[in-house]
Amino acid sequence: MMETPEPIVVREMGMRLEISREALAGIRAAAAAAHPEEACGLLFGKDGLIDGWQETRNVAENRDAEFEIDPTMLFAALRAERAGGPKLVGYWHSHPNGWVEPSARDLDQAGLDEKIWIIVAGDDVAAWQATEYEIYDRVEHRAEILDGQLIRTVNYTSSGAKQKAFRSVPMLTGEVRHLVPRDKDPDIVPLIAEAGYPAIAPILDELMEWTADPNWPICTPLIDYLVTLGAPMIDPIRKVLRGDDDGHKFVCLRGMVRELPRDVQMLLLDDLQALAAVPSESGWETSVDAEARAILAELAGSGA
């Protein structure tokens, strides 16, 4: 029975998590051995590092789509922790269906206890944490006269109702593919920068996909980092400039190309000239061709 994932995510800032290679390898091996049923177990560690794990029996009735940690093994781990043993920091389980996003049933089971939930699906892995947030469910429509014009506004407030949700927790795994963002949360950008170039070379094109919209929280900090790489960004930038998304082209020109060193900008000269020569119609503040011409003018003024 395949369980359709319902990724329910809320974004908060500031948490950093790392899992040791040994713990991740052990969890993956246990998940593979249990396939096509779900495997599950416990996570141990401290100070943001998961360096211990334990497989427990899955006592759920429908183990091909559900998991339930053996309570006797869970209570034993909690007693050991109180006696000075390893600290229980969370739980792990596998998704044989191939999705690392938490299911609706996962959300029902999760407590608001700050525990980490790690989900493995094949070679993929992701970390989550259950949280609660206010629902803005009151809508107030207002109208006022300002400078002789009628201005209508909509204001959203909360009645105090709350909803439980999972938030994605960026996690260092020692594998660069897990530095590709799963949502618009900027918390992962420092981990990307920490890995640095050339380690992140294989995922530069995927990272560029998260620079398409300046309204996304991740967009500006990710651009700010990527532009520091200089010449290695030429190919990923060129792919955007030769694509068909005018909005992304404009953000790329304004946020990245303008900030590159002059000698690196010169490597994009042919692309800038091609964009400048073709009028574009878009809803952006400045059209792509106008932005390209502005950059060319700056290069010409600097002696290019």
Same domain assignment for residues 192 and 278: yes
Same domain assignment for residues 29 and 167: yes
pLDDT at 303: 63
Q: Could you give the CA distance from residue 148 to residue 186 in angstroms, rounded to a whole number?
A: 41
Supply the CATH number for residue 268's domain.
1.25.40.750
Domain count, the chain: 2
DSSP bridge pairs for 163: 133
* Residue range 6-46, pLDDT digits in tens: 333 333 435 689 999 999 999 999 999 999 999 999 999 99
Angle between helices 234-241 and 246-255 (to 10 degrees): 140
Q: Could you give the CA distance from residue 116 to residue 201 in angstroms, rounded to a whole number?
A: 29
Same domain assignment for residues 103 and 198: no
Half-sphere exposure of 88 (CA within 13 A, CB side): 19
Same domain assignment for residues 52 and 168: yes
Same domain assignment for residues 59 and 169: yes
User: Does any domain span residue 127?
Assistant: yes
User: Does any domain span residue 243?
Assistant: yes
Measure Cα distances from 208 to 38, 178, 239 in Å.
34, 15, 10
Q: What residues make up the domain containing 101?
A: 17-134+163-174
* Residue range 225-283, pLDDT digits in tens: 999 999 999 999 999 999 999 999 999 999 999 999 999 999 999 999 999 998 876 65
Domain boundary among 123, 147, 174: 174
Same domain assignment for residues 120 and 243: no
Backbone angles phi, psi at 144, to 5 degrees: -150, 155
Domain boundary among 150, 174, 198: 174
Same domain assignment for residues 267 and 288: yes
Burial of 187 (0-12, 13-18, 19+ CB in 10 A): buried
pLDDT at 285: 56
Percent of the chain past pLDDT 90, that is, above it, reads 79
pLDDT at 15: 66
Same domain assignment for residues 100 and 216: no
Amino acid at 89: V
Same domain assignment for residues 167 and 192: no
What pTM value is reported for the model? Answer: 0.80
Amino acid at 251: V
* Residue range 141-183, pLDDT digits in tens: 888 888 888 888 888 787 888 999 999 999 999 999 999 998 8
pLDDT at 3: 38
pLDDT at 163: 92
Same domain assignment for residues 75 and 199: no
Supply the CATH number for residue 110's domain.
3.40.140.10
Sequence-distant contacts of 153-157: CB under 8 A, at least 24 apart: none
